[in-house]
């Protein structure tokens, strides 16, 4: 049984910036442990000479020329903004 | 602990002088991490205009605002310029380079990951030869890679609140600016070399026309890692990181203080703790991290929205062919003619090509260097606009023409169609028969000052010389005037 | 004339237009009426467009695909109020052909799920039996096309989200070769796996819609030029070499009725001139799901990190930035995205990267190589699309791992970046059974040809029995 401790659940939740209630921590600890047990199966294979595949396409050098295009007008920049302050996005203090 | 290295704090006695008693037993180990913004037309992963200024958030699009579904498309020129810089630093150019995602949350990081490079950077294992008075010091370059810059956070406080910001405002114009990160080996062992390295690197990127590399605009930024170890040892002890320094001289002072601080700690039997010392809170950019765990857990992984960069031999050869003689080599060459100091000033000031032209046109090398490094720089003229032949004539005639005429000519030397000839016709007045009556008249008109001078207030000499120069419209030879004022007083 | 939305294919609807038997507006209104009539029961749509501009026929669009001026929620509360200011490339392509967006279809939140039960706005229902799921994540597009609420639709597929719902609702769906359809403007789940694809009532419509949306896009660095799409006409399968991976046929967990329907379709294929031979994908099937549930969550953990309440979407209160982000994400994200984000962050985190994400990347190589080797001998691989027919709503929702096993047959080819297409091949317990044709990279034309001939021979009626 793959284990994930309560502290590890809290750690990944913090890394991912998800606030969890105590009940949620307990629920996710059990579910994540089950999932980890299932996915740990990947470690059964002998992969010593196998290179990783990050991407199914074997292409390279996809790039664009350095030519400007129109930017968004400000009303579109802020169309969905929860908190606009002048021409800035506003957040609680960082 | 507090930093103890703030810019206004006086140096503690006996600290910084490594040649002082017992100090020979410690060797500083310094590594640098430099960020340079590329001055491409467009950003790294979108085609928003890349540039300083502009109304907040006016240079943004779905990609650099990280709207859902937006995807990065790399800027070809940024990739080529990074390779060019890599070649200038004698790096190995990767056959295959990969972009990675570096994950962290902060308001200026809209995707909550920065597209950067990790274990497959574009350029690695190079070096920069830094000329010094005692020969060349080779500084290893660990890597030079390409990434994107963050947005700008503005921390604001509302009225009525004193402590801490009450909100953060974000401007995404800078977000996505191409940024080259250059990391050195810990090969530097004194502050002066660190400063010279930074100056030379700056000049190199400016000459390659990759970047304006202006510290005050943040288009060049650097962090310094400092540790010390017992001389002769090859251990690497705990290092501290100095961040947000806004001038090379300030950096050199900061490094010296930090070296001294660490030595003091060790000599007092203490332990140096790993920490980051922020010098300029106004330029604070990195996110404050709540814990060490998070700091070290950026969860890098290959950016799946991008494919690898495989530069290929043809591209690398083409870029290599565009490289000119680099500033380090030019300093070394010019130092065969001039002092190392003058050579360094000319090259890192971007003046050495003009200097070579002046010398070729017949100017005295030392005299030409002096004029360029002093009056020419003060006049703020772009070296590229100057007719070297005309300036060479001015330099050669400097002693024979009135100071005022020289200054006036120099101010105009960058203008189209400038000719030195009208200024060369003005001759300096050195004839005592002509000067003495003027000097006597001025002494007579200022009896109080004359009396004070005679009673020992020698600083007043300048007062009289200045009056004479003014009276003669700047055409008098200052050396002669000096001499005669003294005599007549 | 009346527009028979239950029966019309897109090609037929377009025929009405070109023969001027019905106007674009008349056709559009007919589908709006169908939605008004049948969607209250099915909940295929999250948003219906009253009058989208264009001169052509309507199209339904999965709600992860960005549409300028039309809400795009990705089935998540965190994007409930989000209205894109730009069109995704696939929508721009559709608009160029005059297609009119009739509405945005339901999806599991961020396309994470196999039943639409993970939608923040409630599940969709299967038109064949509304007590059952339509599959997922693209259950909304599937239910809409199956019930005649749109002549065709766009879906997105990461590990089976087009193919599996097509199987459960009894129509055609293509997951294209990775890199042939732009992802620009499509809310990302797992970037190295996500592909937009057509959802249609028959293979020709599917092929045509693929030709509209595919091709290199300068806004998506991972796209490539695509061979010209051939609309299939063949009625036989002469010369076609079909491989039947034994691990994907008759394996544990595959229902007897599903195996039987696929088996009879394979016999039909032989009678049409195809050669059918058993083959093996030993490790792809065994390790595919585990590999997928590391790679996809890892990428998702980064892709979903942008929902921080700063520039768009839900914003909760917080004393500082960090607290605001944590509360926003807690309130805005459902359990399934939270689980996958945490698994992904775990798999990438210091100390675990090599054991989890790094290993999964190597397994991906193994899967790719196994498939590549088979395509030296075969033109297509055939298997059931889903191990089961549509299951009752609620049956698997409390067991994430059981839910993940729905995708065991669709995931391996997704990991390899290969195209796969579902056609309905019969009924089991009165519910559709889907057959999956997997092709080599860029092998869409081969798949279309084979699927079309099989489709004609099978003669499956895509209209759900209870709606006929």
Asked if residue C205 belongs to a domain, the reply is: yes
pLDDT of residue B424: 84
HEC sequence for C109-169 = HHHCCCCCCCCCCCCCCECCECCECCCCCCHHHHHHHHCCCCCCEEEEECCCCCHHHHHHH
Walk me through the domains of chain A, giving residue ranges and CATH numbers: 1-43 (1.10.20.60)
What pLDDT, on the 0 to 100 scale, is given for residue B8?
35
Distance from CA of C188 to the nearest CA of B (A): 6
Interchain CB distance below 8 Å, C329 and A79: no
- Identify the weakest region by mean pLDDT among B428-432, C15-19, C146-150, C301-305: B428-432
Does the residue C342 lie in any domain?
no
Instruction: Name chain B contacts of A71, Cβ cutoff 8 Å.
Output: 48-49, 58-61
Identify the pLDDT of residue B294.
57
**Beta strands C241-245 and C380-384, pairing class:** parallel
Domain-embedded: residue C321: no
Q: Does C287 fall in a domain? A: no
Interface with chain B: mutation pick from A8, A19, A65, A88, highest number of B CBs within 10 Å: A88
Q: For A47, name the nearest residue in chain C, comparing CA atoms only.
A: C362
Q: Do A53 and C83 touch (CB under 8 A)?
A: no
Tokens at residue B373, please? 């490094």
Does pLDDT of B215 surpass 70? yes
* CATH number for the domain running over B432-488: 1.10.10.410
Residue bearing the bigger pLDDT, B480 or B229:
B229
Domain that holds residue C91: 10-281+369-467
Q: Are C410 and C193 in contact (CB under 8 A)?
A: no
CA C122 to each of CA A53, B403, C106: distance values in angstroms, whole numbers, following the listed order: 36, 87, 9
What CATH number does the domain containing C114 carry?
Answer: 3.90.1300.10
Mean pLDDT, range B96-121, rounded to an integer: 97
Measuring CA to CA, which residue among B122, B128, B116 is closest to residue B144?
A: B122
Residues 6+ apart with CB under 8 A from B207: B324, B326, B327, B350
Judge whether C363 lies within some domain: no
Whether residue C136 is contained in a domain is answered as: yes
pLDDT greater at residue B464 or residue A78: A78
User: What pLDDT score was predicted for residue B244?
Assistant: 78
Is the confidence at residue B287, as pLDDT, over 60?
A: no
pLDDT of residue B11 exceeding 80: no
Q: Which residue of A has its CA nearest to B51?
A: A68
Assigned domain for C392 exists? yes
Beta carbons of C235 and C456 less than 8 angstroms apart:
yes
d(CA C180, CA C177): 6
> What per-residue confidence (pLDDT) applies to B277?
81
Structure confidence at residue B428 (pLDDT): 75
3-state secondary structure of B171: strand
Q: Which residues of C are catalytic?
A: 62, 137, 161
The angle subtended at Cα B199 by Cα B410 and Cα B121, nearest 5°, is 135
Q: What is the pLDDT of residue C336?
A: 97
- DSSP state string for B440-479: HHHHHH-HHHHHHHHTT-GGGHHHHHHHHHHHTTT-B-HH
Mean pLDDT for B466-476 is 83
Mean per-residue pLDDT over chain B, rounded: 88
Assign 3-class secondary structure to chain C.
CCCCCCCCCHHHHHHHHHCCCCCHHHHHHHHHHHHHHHHHHHCCEEEECCCCCCCCCEEEEECCECECCECCCCCCHHHCCCCCCCCCHHHHHHHHCCCEEEEEECCCHHHCCCCCCCCCCCCCCECCECCECCCCCCHHHHHHHHCCCCCCEEEEECCCCCHHHHHHHCCEEEECCCCCECCCCECCCCCCCCEEEEEECCHHHHHHHHHHHECCCCCCCCCCCCCCCCCCCCCCCCCCEEEEEHHHCCCCCCCHHHHHHHHHHHHHHHHCCCEEEEECCHHHHHHHHHHHHHHHHHHHHHHHHHCCCCCCCCCCCCCCHHHHHHHHHHHHCCHHHHHHHHHHHHHHCCCCCHHHHHHHHHHHHHHHHHHHHHCCCCCEEEEECCCCCCCECCCCCCCHHHHHHHHCCCHHHHHCCCCEEEEEEEEECCEEEEEEEECCCCCHHHHHHHHHHHHHHHCCCCCCHHHC
The pLDDT value recorded for residue B24 is 60
Q: Is C325 part of the contact surface with chain A (CB cutoff 8 Å)?
A: yes
pLDDT of residue B159: 53
Number of domains chain C contains: 1
pLDDT at C86 over 70: yes
Out of B71, B105, B110, the one facing C184 most closely (by C-beta) is: B71
Option in C290, C311, C368 nearest A56 (CB): C368
**Worst-scoring range by mean pLDDT, B447-451, C67-71, C213-217?**
B447-451
Does residue C171 lie in a domain region?
yes
Domain with CATH 1.10.10.410 in chain B: 432-488
Quote the minimal CA–CA distance from A22 to chain B in Å. Answer: 21
The β-bridge relationship of strands B275-278 and B240-243 is parallel
Report whether pLDDT(B254) > 80. Answer: yes
Q: Is A16–C301 a contact, with Cβ atoms under 8 angstroms apart?
A: yes
């Amino acid at each position: 049984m793959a284990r994930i401790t309560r502290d590890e659940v809290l750690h990944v939740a913090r890394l991912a910036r998800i606030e969890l209630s105590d009940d949620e921590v307990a629920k996710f600890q059990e579910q994540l442990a089950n999932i980890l047990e299932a996915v740990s199966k990947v470690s059964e294979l002998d992969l010593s000479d196998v290179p990783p595949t990050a991407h199914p396409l074997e292409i390279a050098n996809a790039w664009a020329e350095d030519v400007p295009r129109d930017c968004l007008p400000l009303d579109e920049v802020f169309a969905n903004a929860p908190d606009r302050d002048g021409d800035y996005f506003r957040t609680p203090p960082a | 602990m507090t930093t103890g290295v703030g810019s206004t704090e006086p140096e503690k006695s006996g600290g910084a002088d490594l040649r002082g008693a017992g100090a020979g037993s410690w060797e500083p180990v310094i590594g640098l991490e430099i960020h340079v913004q590329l001055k491409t037309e467009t950003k790294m992963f979108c085609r928003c205009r890349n540039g300083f200024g502009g109304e907040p958030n006016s240079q943004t699009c779905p990609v650099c605002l990280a709207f859902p579904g937006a995807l990065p498309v790399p800027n070809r020129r940024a990739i080529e310029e990074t390779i060019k810089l890599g070649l200038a630093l004698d790096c190995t150019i990767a056959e295959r380079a990969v972009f990675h995602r570096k994950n962290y949350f902060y308001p200026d990081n809209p995707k909550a990951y920065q597209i950067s490079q990790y274990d497959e950077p574009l350029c690695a294992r190079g070096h920069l030869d830094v000329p010094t008075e005692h020969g060349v010091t080779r500084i290893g370059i660990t890597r030079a890679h390409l990434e994107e810059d963050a947005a700008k956070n503005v921390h604001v406080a509302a009225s009525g609140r004193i402590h801490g910001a009450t909100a953060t405002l974000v401007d995404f114009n800078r977000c996505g600016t191409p940024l080259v990160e250059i990391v050195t080996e810990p090969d530097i062992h004194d502050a002066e070399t660190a400063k010279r390295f930074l100056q030379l690197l700056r000049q190199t990127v400016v000459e390659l026309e990759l970047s304006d590399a202006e510290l005050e605009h943040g288009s060049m930024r650097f962090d310094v890692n400092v540790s010390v170890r017992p001389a002769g040892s090859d251990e690497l002890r705990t290092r501290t990181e100095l961040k947000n320094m806004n001038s090379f001289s300030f950096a050199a002072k900061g490094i010296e203080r930090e070296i001294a601080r660490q030595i003091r700690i060790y000599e007092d039997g203490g332990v140096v703790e790993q920490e980051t010392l922020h010098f300029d809170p106004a330029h604070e950019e990195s996110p404050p991290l709540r814990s060490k765990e998070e700091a070290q857990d950026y969860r890098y992984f290959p950016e799946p929205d991008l494919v690898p960069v495989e530069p290929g031999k043809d591209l690398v050869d083409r870029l290599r062919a565009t490289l000119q003689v680099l500033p380090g080599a030019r300093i070394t060459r010019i130092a065969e003619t001039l002092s190392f100091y003058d050579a360094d000033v000319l090259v890192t000031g971007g003046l050495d090509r003009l200097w070579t032209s002046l010398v070729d046109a017949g100017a005295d090398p030392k005299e030409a260097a002096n004029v360029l490094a002093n009056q020419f720089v003060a006049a703020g003229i772009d070296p590229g606009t100057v007719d070297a032949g005309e300036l060479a004539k001015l330099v050669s005639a400097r002693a024979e023409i009135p100071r005022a005429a020289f200054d006036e000519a120099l101010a105009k030397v960058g203008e189209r169609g400038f000719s030195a000839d009208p200024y060369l016709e003005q001759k300096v007045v050195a004839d005592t028969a002509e000067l003495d009556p003027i000097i006597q008249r001025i002494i007579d008109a200022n009896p109080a000052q004359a009396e004070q001078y005679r009673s020992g207030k020698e600083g007043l000499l300048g007062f009289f010389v200045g009056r004479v120069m003014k009276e003669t419209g700047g055409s008098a030879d200052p050396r002669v005037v000096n001499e005669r004022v003294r005599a007549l007083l | 004339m009346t527009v028979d939305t239950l029966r019309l294919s897109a090609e037929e609807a377009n025929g009405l237009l070109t023969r001027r038997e019905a106007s674009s507006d008349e056709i559009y209104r007919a589908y709006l009426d169908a939605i008004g009539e049948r969607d209250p029961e099915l909940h295929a749509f999250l948003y219906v467009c009253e009058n989208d501009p264009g001169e052509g026929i309507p199209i339904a669009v999965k709600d992860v695909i960005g549409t300028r001026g039309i809400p795009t929620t990705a089935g998540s509360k965190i994007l409930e109020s989000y209205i894109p200011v730009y069109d995704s490339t696939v929508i721009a392509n559709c608009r160029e052909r005059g297609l009119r967006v009739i509405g945005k279809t339901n999806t599991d939140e961020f396309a994470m799920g196999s039943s639409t039960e993970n939608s923040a706005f409630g599940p969709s229902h299967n038109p064949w039996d509304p007590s059952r799921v339509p599959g997922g994540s693209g259950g909304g597009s599937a239910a809409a096309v199956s019930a005649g609420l749109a002549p065709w639709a766009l879906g997105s597929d990461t590990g089976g989200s087009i193919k599996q719902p097509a199987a459960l609702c009894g129509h055609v769906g293509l997951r294209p070769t990775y890199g042939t359809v732009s992802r620009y403007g499509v809310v990302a789940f797992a970037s190295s796996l996500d592909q937009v694809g057509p959802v249609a009532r028959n293979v020709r419509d599917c092929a045509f819609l693929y030709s509209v949306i595919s091709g290199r896009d300068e806004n998506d660095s991972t796209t490539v030029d695509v061979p010209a799409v051939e609309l299939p006409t063949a009625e036989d399968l002469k010369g076609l070499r079909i491989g039947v991976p034994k691990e994907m046929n008759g394996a544990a967990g595959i229902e007897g009725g599903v195996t039987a329907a696929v088996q009879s379709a394979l016999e039909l294929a032989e009678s049409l001139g195809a050669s059918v031979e058993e083959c093996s994908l030993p490790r792809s099937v065994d390790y595919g799901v585990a590999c997928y549930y590391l790679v996809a969550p890892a990428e998702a953990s980064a892709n979903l990190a942008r929902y921080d309440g700063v520039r768009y979407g839900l914003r909760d209160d917080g004393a500082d930035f960090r607290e605001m982000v944590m509360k926003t994400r807690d309130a805005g994200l459902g359990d399934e995205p939270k689980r996958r984000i945490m698994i992904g962050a775990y798999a990438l985190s210091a100390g675990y990267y090599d054991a989890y994400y790094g290993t999964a990347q190597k397994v991906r190589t193994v899967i790719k190589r196994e498939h590549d080797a088979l395509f030296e001998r075969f033109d297509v691989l055939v298997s059931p699309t889903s191990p089961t027919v549509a299951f009752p709503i609620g049956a698997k929702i409390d067991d994430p791992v059981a839910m993940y096993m729905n995708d065991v047959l669709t995931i391996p080819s997704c990991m390899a970046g290969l195209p796969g297409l579902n056609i309905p091949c019969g009924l089991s317990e009165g519910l559709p059974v889907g057959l999956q044709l997997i092709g080599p990279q860029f092998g869409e034309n081969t798949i279309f040809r084979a699927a079309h001939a099989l489709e004609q021979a099978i003669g499956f009626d895509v209209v759900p029995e209870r709606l006929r």
